């Protein structure tokens, strides 16, 4: 399969996924512009602004908050607990990243810092990648597990909480 065919295949899959959102379908009907190209254009502009450090801190922190906040609220209103654990883990890792970042003033030390932070935050936030889980298990759990081993795992805590209700 050629590169162009692969790109068209991915665009088709994205368009199918975006069709789930009625406001995008309505926007496409009103403007005549395919929703997939609007979303890709907006994403490219967003990344362009971050790459060239035009309001990059605001844009990265917005995506690091807005997308996970939406998914966290969704998780709170669903019965399952798997997504609750994912988003709690994200917020813990994001908080540590924010405190660490402010403590070392990383933005002045690394060129294209916000570009890398943008990619890291997206990787951590997207449910498909489970990046926050990887960061937590690799860095935070080894450091903090000794302080919380007496309480058991999160699954045990949830089971205990369910018994008390």
Per-residue pLDDT tens over the stretch 90-111? 999 999 999 988 888 877 788 8
- Let me know if 50 is exposed, middle or buried by CB neighbors in 10 A (0-12, 13-18, 19+): buried
Instruction: For residue 119, give the nearest of 39, 50, 49, 37 by alpha carbon.
Output: 50
Spans of all domains in the chain: 1-52, 53-164
Per-residue pLDDT tens over the stretch 22-69? 999 999 999 999 999 999 999 999 999 999 999 999 999 999 999 999
Number of neighbouring beta carbons within 10 Å of residue 136: 20
Number of neighbouring beta carbons within 10 Å of residue 93: 22
């Amino acid at each position: 399969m050629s590169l162009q065919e692969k790109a068209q295949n991915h665009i088709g899959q994205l368009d199918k996924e975006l069709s789930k959102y009625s406001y995008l379908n309505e926007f496409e009907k009103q403007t005549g512009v395919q929703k997939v190209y609007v979303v890709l254009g907006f994403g490219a502009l967003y990344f362009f602004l971050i790459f060239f450090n035009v309001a990059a801190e605001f844009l990265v922190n917005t995506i690091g908050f807005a997308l996970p906040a939406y998914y966290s609220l969704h998780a709170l209103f669903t019965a399952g607990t798997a997504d609750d654990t994912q988003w709690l883990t994200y917020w813990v890792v994001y908080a540590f990243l924010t405190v660490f970042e402010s403590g070392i003033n990383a933005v002045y030390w690394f060129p294209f810092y916000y570009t890398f932070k943008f990619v890291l935050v997206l990787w951590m936030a997207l449910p498909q990648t489970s990046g926050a889980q990887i960061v937590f298990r690799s860095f935070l759990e080894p450091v903090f597990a000794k302080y919380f081993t007496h309480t058991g795992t999160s699954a045990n805590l949830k089971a205990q909480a369910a018994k008390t209700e």
